[in-house]
Amino acid sequence: MTLEWEQVVVDAADPGALGRWWAEALGWVVVGDLPDEFEIRPQKDRLPGLLFAPVPEGKTVKNRLHLDFRPVDQEAEVARLLALGARHADVGQGEQSWVTLADPEGNEFCVLGPRHG
């Protein structure tokens, strides 16, 4: 069996607004803008993407799945994401080499430090 990773689906109160935030944060392009789903990808024909779907309930607990990003300059990238509207998130991780942030709807993600080795 061959599987291709198509996308990660993100529940959202406002799929369009959250999808546009992530498109800006990642420098990705919008490939779908419908009332019931908003999709972004690294490039129009490149996978995987992120698909934002509406849900009636709000986020109440820590994500069971989150995204990790490894920038060239962690400090600069954290500052840029905070300026876009991310916020620091404490999910009980303690002092670590990564920085845990949350998007405007509270979904946690991590900004990792430099790769060693």
Taken in order of first residue, the domains within the chain and their CATH numbers are: 1-56 (3.10.180.10), 65-117 (3.10.180.10)
Q: Is the pLDDT of residue 62 over 90?
A: no
Of the pLDDT bands very low, low, confident and very high (cuts 50, 70, 90), residue 112 is: very high
The model's confidence at residue 50, banded by pLDDT at 50, 70 and 90, is very high
For position 97, what pLDDT does the model report?
86
Q: What is the pLDDT of residues 65-82, one digit of tens each?
A: 999 999 999 999 999 999
Q: How confident is the model at residue 117 (pLDDT cuts 50, 70, 90)?
A: low
pLDDT at residue number 13:
95
Give pLDDT, residue 72.
Answer: 93
Measured on CA atoms in the order 6, 10, 12, 18, is the torsion positive or negative? negative
Alpha helix positions (H), the chain: 15-26, 74-84
- State phi, psi for 63 to the nearest 5 degrees: -60, 145
Over 70: is that where the pLDDT of 94 sits?
Answer: no
Predicted local confidence at residue 6, as pLDDT: 95
Residue 28 near residue 8, CB atoms below 8 Å: no
